[in-house]
Structures are given as structure tokens and as C-alpha cells.
Structure 1
């Protein structure tokens, strides 16, 4: 049975054509706030129900509750604060005003302002990321935010430009697709990389227990040396074509800005996939981690606190190739010592590709490698 949306109802916050026309005609009469890309992406995820039950950005009571308890005031699990920050100089409006949110001079959404409040950045960082170290990318982002947060309901006026329209499915669409395919149980896998055999074994191990697999690459800001979005998507298409039973897996993107909040973010990622209709979610080693801020399996342990999450996490130990077993295994089923193990390292595989070396067959499918190499430059430049 396709899972119920988080909170019981799939949120849809899209302005009607008539309302949109009226607002755009009168746009000069509204206070304006310019927002950055990450906030615009959050807006779209609120509007299409990826963040159900949120209907807008968190008000102060909700924000504090999420920081302190990882739950909304009504006790529903929610682990990452979804907030809109402004600096004092941009506060040209008051509570109860309706404002327009602009991204790159495009009016993206209207918002009813319910709350304007100051917050403690160090507390935000410490509670969400378990550190105030400025070298943590999530902490650095929080420290650069404006000093005020504004909470309230939003309505989307315009979609963001989307170069990957053909790979985009909203929760309302995935739910229909899963029903059409007669998937009763669906496991989601989030990725930001091209697939190596470790990923494939992880996905197929999970697929053994459910009806369908939902591969959900995260598109968004990337750093130098990451694979380009189109490379990741083509690599997965190749893998599906040659190595997955027809109609057992669905590929669709989600736009989302990673927070690198480790355990808290793993819970958030699970909630997002619950809203897409998934019943299970794969949580691997160091999920949503960065550096050494979190223990390797801390993102799995946190789920003990959420028996009421409404989506079942699937935990896996790290897969590796064992020269003695002559296959891909993990430490639960392989008795052999470290020297017999070849661990899947994205960095190692990337370096091989950069240097023109073909990764061993037990690291990456030949067809996937050839797909990556068909791009003149598969990596993001600086």
C-alpha cells in the first residue's frame, strides 16, 4: 500500500492562474524579498508536497520545537528546520502582510507573514549539525544567514527553470505511477553519484524484499569535481536498461539543497520519500554526513527515536568486494580480513576515470563506465 503522506494529507500550494495573473499585475504594490537558490528549491518542495505537512516556512514555535525535539508542536516527527531568513535591512514589512518572494527577479511565490523572529545561530548549528565548527558546510551556511526568520504560508506563482523536466515527477505523480505498476511496497534510494556496483548491490538487496525501487537522484548545487547531473541520470538509465528487470525501478529527480546534517537529515530524507509514496527508505553508511562529524552508523541509530515515522528504514552495512569470497558482500556475511577487501570508493573510481583507467568489473559496470566516458567532461568545473 503506497504510504500516506506525512501528516495524512499531501500539501499542494499552487496559485490558480487567475490569482497568479492578478498578483503579477499588482506585483509592484507588494513588499519584495529576494531569495537565494536553496530557499527557492525549498519553496518548490513545500508547494508540491515533498515537505508535507508544511504549508510554508516555520513560525517561531515550530522552529523551536524542531530544534529541541525533532518534532512539530503537534508531535509529528520533523527533523530539519525549513526556514526563510532575512536581514534587518530587508524587513520592509510586518506581521499579517502579504509579500512576494523573488528569485533572480522572477516572482516565485506569495507569502502571508505570520511571524517575524530573531534566533540564535549557534543554537541552530549545534542542535541540527551537532557542531558549531565553521568548517562544516551546514554551519557555515547558518552563520551567513540573515538575523531574522519569517514564518507563514506560501503559494507558488512560478516554477523554477528546470533543465531536467523529463526526469521530474512530483509526489502526486509518483503516487499514481506506483499504483499503476501495482507496487504495494516501494523502497527509495537517494543518490548524488553515478552508480557503482556497491550501490547496485545495495539497491537490489532492498528490492528483494519489496515490489519496486525508487531511485531519486538529488539535483542541486554541486562542487568542483562532482559528476554533472546529466551524467548521473544517463548512467542510471544505462544501468536500468541492462541490469534491472523491466518495470521494477523508477528513476525521478528531486531538487534539494543538502544540509550535511547526518542523522537528522537521514530522517528528513525518509519523510520526503514517504511523501512521494514510498514505504521503505535505504539508509547506508554515513548517510548525509560530511567529514568526521558523525559516527558511521549514527544516521541509522537515530531512527529508534521515531517508531511513528510511517516509513520503514532499511539499514545496510557497507558493501565491498572480497577477493576470497569472489563477490560483493558486507561484514555481516564475510569472515575474511581487511586485506582481502576492496572497498567501493567514489573518489578512487573518479580518479580512475580522470586518469583514463577502466575501473575493475567488480567496481563498475562496463556499460556505465562507457556512458560516463561518452561525455566530453563528466565533471563539474570549478
Structure 2
């Protein structure tokens, strides 16, 4: 019977620990930022190649590609991996991965690009973050993606609505070389990369870590649930709220982070770590729960808390839940 307070799943699988920590997903923690000499080459190249201004969601995806949270991905997916993810919840090589990570562009932008071309990726202010080497361009079958990823065509679902009304007509896939991480001016000390979280764990001697994701202020029941998970797993806690693109109507993350900081003082000393995750949520229910678990594995978590209706968007236009309440727990069990 499913645990209504949440389920803790062991993410370590058959991999041996990397030193004393769980192995990253795929066996290696990806790091896409190039060295200074290569940065100079890419900056010169950017003067002669087209540019794309990234949306909020695309910026989140790029940041997590660059810092290794999306390991083993080394760029935006090409079509073979995209098709495999839709059909089998895995990359073409068989590595489990449930969510397509592709760069969408408009029909006009797609018509100006071709395979083998390089492309500068910029933030809304024009600051260059990375260069993408285009491998493939294809027309999106949005109805198929909506039905496969979200299990719905109802635009009451925020992920479906985004796909139909904000996503471009084409996807482009290809390897990414990072130059600069997206800029943030708030809570810098809490925006830890997977390598930085793992370094903290190594320094503190943590060998087991429970990951807990939230996009809401931490309430008392959740606080008690995390303590229970820590006791049962004999582990420390990574409290990792999402500060990227979440569900419309959510409380702003500035307010939420202050709530997490206040709550953190009530945990036992040196037993929890607060780290912000710039993730663009899709609200895709069970697929997303698996995705969240794999991301936390890259941060060094050995366990992950999956709650009731994890990453669910609420009710459809007929007033029914999009996903069964324990579907996410069943997929990860």
C-alpha cells in the first residue's frame, strides 16, 4: 500500500559509490563549461554565427545542462534520443531518461538554420551563455508529445498549454559548449551546482542523503515527513526547492526561500543542506517524478521523497485529477 506521507526510493542502483557518494546518472557528472582558451575561440566565432534569445524555460534547461544536473546529457537532444524518450522513457543507448530536453525555435528561425551550423545562445539582455552545434532540426508533432508526455490534450494542463501556445514549431538538437552560466543576483550562496553539493557532502562526511523537492512553503507535515525520511534512511537531507519555472499561481520564490531559511533552523545541526534548483517544471506527473529523482541522483542523493500526486498540475477541465494520486510512487517503485 502506498504511503500517503511520501515514498523514499533508493537511487543508487547497482553502481558503486563515487568515492563515498552515489554515482551520477550515466556514470559521469557532465560539465559543459569550456576552458578559457576555448571560450575565446567561441566568442570570436559568435561574431559570425546566428544567435537565439532564450526563454525562461530554455534558460533553466541550459543552466542544468551546463552544471551537470541533467547528466548524462551533453546538449539539447537530437531526434533519435527525443523519439526514444517519448516511446521508452530512455535515451537511445538505453539510459533511463523520461523528459525530452530540446531547444524549440520558431518556423522563421528554423528556416535560417541547418545541420552542422553553430548557434550562439543568449539571455534576454544579449549576454552569450553558450554555443550550440546543431545536429538536427525537425518539426514538432505537438499532439503526439502532449499525449505521450502529459497523457492529455487538455490545455488546462500547464505543460500542454505551454506546448501548444508558447513552444516554437521546430526542435533543434545538438552538443552545447558552455561559456557563462546564466546570471543570478539573488541567493547566490544557495545556488549550488551538483559538484558543489557533492563537495559539501564529502567535506561533512555524508554518505547517504535524502532529496526533497518542493515548490511551496514548507509546512509542518512536510517538515515531520523529512525528519522521518532521514531517520528511516539513516541519511542527511538535501532540501532543494524549485526556483525556476513552476506552476502558474505559485507563491514567488523570494518569499518561499525565506520560509525555507527559517525552517532550516529547526533541523538538527549539520543534518540538512538547503540548495536552490533552477528547474523549469513541466508538471508531467509520474514522468516528472522520475526526472526529479534522476536529477537528485546527480546531486548525490541516495534517496528521494515522492509525495502524493507528485508534480501533478491539479484538475482537468472536467474537474478530475490529471494523474492518479500514487502513480508517481508506483512508477518509481
Could you say which residue in structure 2 is the equivalent of 1:85? Answer: 104
1:24 aligns with 2:53: no
Displacement after TM superposition at 1:109 (Å) = 1.1
Could you say which residue in structure 1 is the equivalent of 2:317? Answer: none
Q: What SS does the aligned partner of 2:128 have?
A: strand
1:299 aligns with 2:328: yes
**Structure 1 residues 224 and 6 mapped into 2: Cα distance closer, same or farther (>3 Å)?**
closer
Q: Is the 8 A contact 1:167 1:251 kept in 2?
A: yes
Could you say which residue in structure 2 is the equivalent of 1:141? Answer: 162
1:257 aligns with 2:276: no
Residues of 1 paired with 2:91 and 2:248: CA distance? 36
Could you say which residue in structure 2 is the equivalent of 1:97? Answer: 117
TM-score, with length taken from structure 1:
0.77
Q: What SS does the aligned partner of 1:255 have?
A: coil
Query: In the alignment, which of 133, 156, 166 is matched to residue 112 of structure 1?
Result: 133
Q: What SS does the aligned partner of 2:242 have?
A: strand
Residues of 1 paired with 2:148 and 2:235: CA distance? 37
Query: In the alignment, which of 167, 185, 206 is matched to residue 208 of structure 2?
Result: 185
Displacement after TM superposition at 1:211 (Å) = 2.3
Listed one character per residue, the Cα deviations across residues 107-154 of structure 1 (whole Å, up to 9, x for unaligned) are: 121011111112310010101000011111100111132221111100
Could you say which residue in structure 1 is the equivalent of 2:65? Answer: 46
Query: In the alignment, which of 229, 232, 242 is matched to residue 253 of structure 2?
Result: 229
Could you say which residue in structure 2 is the equivalent of 1:279? Answer: 302
Query: In the alignment, which of 90, 101, 110 is matched to residue 71 of structure 1?
Result: 90
Could you say which residue in structure 1 is the equivalent of 2:79? Answer: 60
Alignment of 1:171-210 (within 5 A): 171-208=194-231, 209-210=233-234
- Structure number with greater Rg is 1
Alignment of 1:119-134 (within 5 A): 119-134=140-155
Could you say which residue in structure 2 is the equivalent of 1:240? Answer: 264
Q: Is the 8 A contact 1:44 1:156 kept in 2?
A: no
Consecutive unaligned residues in structure 2, runs of 5 or more: 1-19, 315-320
**Structure 1 residues 110 and 199 mapped into 2: Cα distance closer, same or farther (>3 Å)?**
same
Asked which structure has the greater RCO (Cα within 8 Å, sep 6+), the reply is 2
Displacement after TM superposition at 1:203 (Å) = 0.3
Residues of 2 paired with 1:121 and 1:239: CA distance? 41
Displacement after TM superposition at 1:167 (Å) = 0.6
Q: Which runs of 4+ in 1 moved over 6 A?
A: none
Could you say which residue in structure 2 is the equivalent of 1:341? Answer: none
Task: Work out the number of aligned pairs and report it.
Answer: 303
Q: Is the 8 A contact 2:135 2:173 kept in 1?
A: yes
Q: What SS does the aligned partner of 2:309 have?
A: coil
Q: Is the 8 A contact 2:211 2:237 kept in 1?
A: yes
**Structure 1 residues 231 and 23 mapped into 2: Cα distance closer, same or farther (>3 Å)?**
same
Listed one character per residue, the Cα deviations across residues 257-304 of structure 1 (whole Å, up to 9, x for unaligned) are: 110000000000000000001000000101000121001111111114
Consecutive unaligned residues in structure 1, runs of 5 or more: 305-382
Q: Is the 8 A contact 2:152 2:160 kept in 1?
A: yes
Q: Is the 8 A contact 1:2 1:186 kept in 2?
A: no
1:218 aligns with 2:242: yes
* RMSD (Å), alpha carbons: 1.4
Residues of 2 paired with 1:26 and 1:64: CA distance? 31
Residues of 2 paired with 1:225 and 1:117: CA distance? 33
Q: Is the 8 A contact 2:129 2:182 kept in 1?
A: yes
**Structure 1 residues 257 and 250 mapped into 2: Cα distance closer, same or farther (>3 Å)?**
same
